[in-house]
Chain A
Amino acid sequence: MAFGIKRGVRFQILSESDFDRIHWGTLHILEKVGVQVDSVACRKLLKDNGCEVDESKRIAKIPSHLVEEALSKKKTSITLAARDPKYDAKLDLDHSYMTANGNGAVAVDFETGERRPSTKKDVADSSRIIDYLQNVHIHWPMVSSTDKHPSVVHLHDLDASMSNTQKHIMYETGVTLSDAKHLTEIGYIAAGGEKEFRHRPIHSCLQCTYAPLQHDAGVMDASLYFAEHGVPLVFFGMPQPGATGPVTLVGSLVVGNAEVLSALVMTQLHAPGSAVIYGMGNAPLDMRTTIRAGGSPEHAISSAIATELAHYYGMPSCVGVSATAKVPGDQAVLEYYTGCVGPLLAGADLMCGVGLLEDSSCLFYEQIVIDNEIVGSIARLIRGEWADDDTMALDIIEKVGVGKNFLAQKHTMQHLRAGEHFMPDLIDRRSFDAWSASGSKSLVDKAREKTRWILENHRVPPLDADTQKRVDAVIEKAKKPMWGGETKRD
C-alpha cells in the first residue's frame, strides 16, 4: 500500500478571487508596513536585493517582485525521506501525512500516572509508538529530554528519535546558528554523508515566524543555514486571531502569509531552490482562559484556508492541531477530531500533530494511539468516491437481483480487504452484552492496552554502532555552559 493518505475529496472554502485578494493584500502589507527582521544577515540580504531597510527599527519593506521571484524559485517537488524508504513522504499535493506533535516538556508516566518533566526515555518510547502506528507518517520528537544538559536537549531529542523510528523526523529546535549546525551535522551522519542527505533529507526543521510581522534573529540565521545545507524548512506563521493577528480568520491569514512569504524571500535569495513548506497555525487565544485553542473550529478552518492558499502558491501546506484537554478521553477526542477533520478535508499535506495535551505541552502515550484511530477514520472520509464499472457494480447488482444480499459476493470481500470500510481498532461496535462481558472497557482503556502492547513488543533497528558513536560525539562537542550557569543534569 502507498504511504500517506491518498485524497479524493477536497472542500473548497475560499474562491479564486479570495486568493487574489489575499495575495494582493499581503503584497501590499509587505511593501507598505514591512516586516521586522532581527537578523543582521537577513537585513543585509534584503537590502542588497533592493528592499527598503530601516536599520534603527529593523523593518524591511519587501517589493512584490521579490515575492513573485521567490515563489518561482522555490523547490516544487519535496520528498521528506525516511531512514526506511518505504516511509518516504512525497509532498505531491495529492497525499496527506500526519505527524506527531512535538516538544512538550511534561509527560504522564505510563506506569505510575505521575505528571512529571519529560525525559529522554519518553522521547525514545514515544518514537517507537510513532514508528509502529500506521496513520502517523512523520515523526517529531514529542517531548524534550529535560534530564539532559540544557545546551544539548534538542540533540538528545533527535538522537532518541533517530534510534527509535525509521520514519522521517521533523524538529523545531534549530533556533540558533549553532543549533542548526549541530542538527545538520547529525543529519549528515545519519544519512551517510552530505550528498546523501541532500539527495534524501531524512530530517527537516519547522521554524516559527513571530506574529505580527516579525522574524526572530536566531530562527532566521538558523534558517539560512538550513536552506543552504539542504535541510527542508517549514515556515510556520502563528498569529492568534484576536491577539497577535486580527480577530477575523482571513485577517490573521494575511498577517501569517506576509510572515511566511517574507521568510520564503529570504531563504530563496540566500539559497535559491531550497525546499520550503508553507506552514500556518492560527489558533485563537481563548478569550476567557487565555489558553491557545488548538482544537477549536477556528483553528481547523484557519488551517483549511491556509492549505488552500499554500496550494494556490503551488506549495505543500503544514498545519496544526492540538488539544487543551488535560487527560485523554472525550474532550481530547472532540478537540483532535475537530482540529484534524477541517484541514484534512481541505487537503492539508502535513498535519501536525498527534499525542500531546494541554496545548502541545503534555505527553500521554495512549493519546498517540487514540489520535491514530481518529486519523484512520478521517482518512476514510477524505479518500473520495468515484463511479466506475467496479464501484458501480452493475454486474453484481444484476447478479444478486431483487431482495437478496451482497454478503457472500467476491466483490464485497475484495473491497473490504482493500479498505473500502474503515475497520476501527479502538471504537467498540459490539453489543452491550459482549462489551460488558469483556470488561466494559472504555476507548481510553483499550488505547492503554494497545500502547502497552506496542511498548512491550515493537522494536526498531538501532543505528549502527559507528553512526551512533559519531552522533554521540557531536552531542558531546556541542555541550556548553548554558548562559554561564551550572546545572545538575548530565
Chain B
Amino acid sequence: MAEEFVPVQTKVVTKPFLVLAALALTGLGLIAYRYVAGLGAVTNLSDGYPWGIWIAYDVLVGTALGCGGYAMAILVYVFNRWEYHPLVRSAVLTSVLGYTLAAVAIFIDIGRYWNGYKLFLPWQVNLSSVLVEVALCIGAYVVVLWIEFLPTLLEKHREHPKAAVWLRRLNHALPVIAAVGILLPTMHQSSLGTLMVIAGGKLSPLWQTSLLPLFFLLSALAMGFAVTAVESIASSYFFRRPYETPMLANLARVTAGVVAAYLVLRLADLLYRGAPVLSSGWLSAMFFLENLLYMVPLIFLVSPRAARNLRVLFLAGLALLLAGAVYRFNAFLVGFSPGPGWRYFPAMPEIAITLGLVSLELMAYLYFVKRYPVLPAQHG
C-alpha cells in the first residue's frame, strides 16, 4: 500500500525556529514570574475585567483554531466524504496543539491552580455551572486528540512489534474515538458561548442572546474548515508541495454553507430581539467589522470561479479566521462592560505570554511535520 502521509524532509532547527524559541523562552520566564508575584504583576486584569486575552485568545480563539480536526472528522466520518481524508492528519495535529496549549493557558490563568483537580471530583463539581461542562469536555478532548494523533507517532516506528500491535488496536477503536472526538467539541464549543449568558446585561445586546451556544458552535465549525484550508495552502507553499486545489474548492462550498447559516441565524436573532445594531457607538463599529469579515469571504466562496483560485481561497480563509476571532473577542471582552470606570487592555507581559505559547505551538507543529508522517504524500 502506498504511503498516504509522509514527513517533510528538511531541517527542524532553522532561523525562524530560533526566533520562535526566543519568544517562547520569554513567555516561559514571565509565566514563572506570574507564579511568584501573582496575576496582577503580569496582567491588566481587574475585578471589572477578570478575564482577558488568555481566555479570549488562548482558550476561545485557540480552541476554535483547533477545530480543524473536528470539522474534518465530521466531513469524513459522518458525511462519508473520504476524499478529504488526506487533510485529516495535519488538521488533527493543529487541533492537538491548539487544545493542549489552551489547557495550559487555563492553568496559568486560574488563581488557585493547586485546587484545579477539584474540577474533576464528581462530588465537588457544581452541575449547574457551565464552566464545569467546558472544563471537563476540553480536558477529555485533549486526551482524545492525543489518542487520535497517536497513529501518526506510532507509524514512524512501525518496525517495532509493539507499535504494530497498538496501531491495530487503535484502528479497531477508531469509530468510538472518532465519535467521541466529534461529540466533545460540539458540546464545549457551544458551551463556551453559553458561558456568557450569565453575564446578562453586562454583555451588550449585540452579543448577549440565548443563541450564544449555537453561534459559538457554528462559528467554530467555520473556523475549523477555514483553518484546514489555510493550513493546507500554506504548507504546500512553504514546503513546496503540490496544492490540493479540487479538494479545497469543494471544502470552500461546505464552508460557505456553514457561514451562510450562521449569518442568517445571527441576523434573525438580532432582528427578533430588536438589538441596537446602529446606535451602540463604537460597539456598532466592532459589530460591523465582525460581520463584514464574514460576509466578504462568503461572497467569494460562493462564486465557483473564485473558489478555484488558491489566492482567493487563502485570503477568504484568513478573513473567516479573523471573523471568528473578532466575534469571540467581542462577545467576551469588547461587548462586556462591568460598569463605568472599568477598562481593559492587555499588559505587555500578558501579550508576551500569549505570544510565547503561540510560538511553542508553531515550534511543535514544525517539529512534527518534519519528523512524523503528517502531511499528505505527493501524488503524481
Say if A and B assemble together.
Answer: no
B contact set with A: CB distance below 8 Å: none
A contact set with B: CB distance below 8 Å: none
